[in-house]
Amino acid sequence: MSSRNDSRPFADSCVVLGVTSSIAAYKAAELCSRLKAWGTEVRPVLTPDALEFIAPLTFETLAGAPAVVDLFDEPACPLPVHIELGTRADLIVVVPASADFIGRTAAGLADTALGAVIMAADCPVLFAPAMNARMFAAPAVQANLRCLEEYGYHLVGPGKGRLACGEAGSGRLAPLDDIVERMAGLLGAR
């Protein structure tokens, strides 16, 4: 969508940007920057393992909002942060969505701030998987992705190509333009 000028679905929207543990986490920072430029309220929520790849300060700076990492490190608000974000969000997008986080969500686990926000949400949730091609093809991961779709969650990607590990195949984070287009469709369908 960077080549398109139509950013209306994002103006005055609240998007929770979930970031999990993947080398593709740096692309979530670019997505955060784009959304903010389009007038979106971006609320970053990172899993603790995402911190191995990218710092919360990156998202706090780009979003102009605190990045939530710890479920029990509550900012000052009248509701617990996972309830506040889960009910305030117009859309939750998980970029990148690791195999681990996909499995945890499929199992209904809410042991991270991001997992709890998703469980408390009443808005569309979009997952953009990113992982090694063999991991993506694993029967358990495929079953978890089908489970997410059965629950009503949405998926975009992954793409095919060279992966960070040097291998090639499916598992690459979908292009940001594809993610943005899918997000716009979900926001427009509200």
For the annotated catalytic residues, the residue numbers are 165
Measured between alpha carbons, how far apart are the two ends of the chain, in Å? 19
Burial of 26 (0-12, 13-18, 19+ CB in 10 A): middle
For residues 123 and 88, give the distance between their C-alpha atoms in angstroms, rounded to a whole number.
Answer: 9
For residues 86 and 88, give the distance between their C-alpha atoms in angstroms, rounded to a whole number.
Answer: 6
150 contacts: CB under 8 Å, gap ≥ 6? none
Task: Assess contact for 4 and 15: CB atoms under 8 A.
Answer: no
Strands 159-162 and 168-172: antiparallel
**Peptide bond before 139: cis, by omega within 30 degrees of 0?**
no
